Amino acid sequence: MNIALVEYGAGNLPSVERALSHLGVESRRASTPDALAGCDALILPGVGHFGALMRSLGERSLVAPLREAVSRGTPLLGICLGLQAMFATSDEAPGDTGLALFPQKVSALPPVDRLPHMGWNRLRRARPSKLLEGVLQDAYFYFAHSYAALDAGEAGVAFCDHCAPFVAVLEQGNIFATQFHPEKSGPVGARILSNFVRQAGSQG
Amino acid sequence: MSLAHRIIPCLDTDGERVVKGVNFVNLRDAGDPAALAARYNIEGADELVVLDIAASRDHRPTFLETIRRVAAELAIPLTAGGGVANVDEGRAILRAGADKLTVNTAAIRNPPLLTALAAEFGSQAVVLAIDAKRVGDRWEAFVRGGSVPTGIDAVAWARQGVDCGAGEILITSMDKDGTRSGFDCPLTAAISRAVSVPVIASGGADTPDTFLEVFREGRADAALAASIFHDSIQGLGALKRYLGEQGVSVRQTG
């Protein structure tokens, strides 16, 4: 299978590549519209700032090709900021438009607990999840963020509670995303990635 | 449901090898950073810190290579630092494979550096490291590896650092560092109360009790230790089992 990591000049690509490689999955990097078009599955990693991510994608003319790939049915996994980029807007960059695969917005978490939400936390499952297949209920995942999607309608399949309940795992058809970092979440994180690869194989 | 308290092994390096010593004197070799990283990754560390305590400019390429080698062994987050003085040096550390970077001396001399780093990489990637020593009824921040007093109040500096953009505080008690007599709970609690970001306690780690104390009395979100792990005085698995039994939320592994 031909899996590509979307390369836009930021994001922690090597750790995702390494995690895939440990699963025996080779990936490549896609930084042009043509490269995106020829993939069986896409991963959008992300760290940093919503506005900076969208600007980087825009400068590389990757926004429309990403949306087109998703509408063609190409499986897409967003990680951390890559999840947030799937929404229409974010409090982090008012005025900037996201990929808008979902109409809701990304919110600043209210400062009830310590922020950034940094470290290992558990999930609360709301709906059946393909990414979480075979993962124990009380498993911990690594988070590092201050913004989050509080609502994704039916696509929100698992939530985490820190400052407010927010979407931790998102799934809808060929769209998958996690607010946590599977590539930094030890063996359970590897399971998430392998579940995505398996889904991509059966969908693609 | 709650965020787990993190246990963080720290690799102090001369850029290339893990070294040990009290207050940066009598340094001796304590192993290969990548080998130790691989071990802690498997044993259940929640995160790893790797520092270049020599922090000499000539040595920087060697340290970046060390970060790459360490990162290649990890499926957990990595924090790296030592002598970071500007955004370009921060970027080099993150590009080498670190998820977060620590800043210390340069931030005290130039607090807007924190703002610039946070704007470039996000607050979640910027850890303000503070070396503090008790002076009278307060704690004073020291720089240059704890060798130079600043006259600055450590608690006030932590608060200012967070206002400038730091997303986490790594507070090291110079009074406790290397003593194996327990963390400095009053210092850690004072910092923890003063800021809204997570606080990592460092210096003085010993028995599992000392970790329990710093999580409860010290209000720490994470605790860092070096030699007790390197010398296998304390196993990570046993430590986390103990903390779990005491009702502390920790990520159990295996």
pLDDT tens profile B137-173: 999 999 988 889 999 999 999 999 999 999 999 999 9
* Cα–Cα dist A131/B78, whole Å: 25
For chain B, what is the domain count?
1
CB B11 within 8 A of CB B18: yes
CB contact under 8 A, B99 and A12: yes
pLDDT (tens digit per residue) in B93-104: 999 999 999 999
Q: Residue B142 is part of which domain span?
A: 6-245
Residue B206 inside a domain? The answer is yes
Beta-bridge partners for B10 = B49
What interhelical angle do B87-95 and B112-121 show, nearest 10?
40
Structure tokens at A34: 């043509």
Residue B253 inside a domain? The answer is no
* A3-203 CATH: 3.40.50.880
CB contact under 8 A, A47 and B123: no
Residue B251 inside a domain? The answer is no
CB contact under 8 A, A18 and B121: no
pLDDT of A104 over the 60 cut = yes
* Cα–Cα dist B151/B171, whole Å: 17
A47, A80, A120: which to substitute to probe chain B, counting the most B Cβ within 10 Å? Answer: A120
Structure tokens at A72: 């063609």
pTM of the model: 0.96
CATH code where residue B104 lies: 3.20.20.70
Residue B1 inside a domain? The answer is no
What's the pLDDT band for A11 if we cut at 50, 70, 90?
Answer: low
Task: Tell me which chain B residues have a C-beta less than 8 angstroms from the C-beta of A183.
Answer: 75
CB contact under 8 A, A144 and B77: yes
Which range is least confidently modeled, A67-71, B56-60, B118-122? B56-60
Residue among A122, A160, A189 minimizing CB distance to B75: A189
A113, A118, A181: which to substitute to probe chain B, counting the most B Cβ within 10 Å? Answer: A118
Task: Tell me which chain A residues have a C-beta less than 8 angstroms from the C-beta of B222.
Answer: 119
Residue B55 inside a domain? The answer is yes
Residue B252 inside a domain? The answer is no
List Cα–Cα distances, B224 to A71, B79, B171, B221, in angstroms: 46, 12, 10, 10
pLDDT, average across residues A176-180:
98
Q: In the prediction, which pLDDT does B28 show?
A: 75
Residue B123 inside a domain? The answer is yes
Structure tokens at A95: 């005025």
What ipTM is given for this predicted complex?
Answer: 0.95
Query: Does residue A156 or residue B1 have the better pLDDT?
Result: A156
Residue B31 inside a domain? The answer is yes
pLDDT of B26 over the 70 cut = no
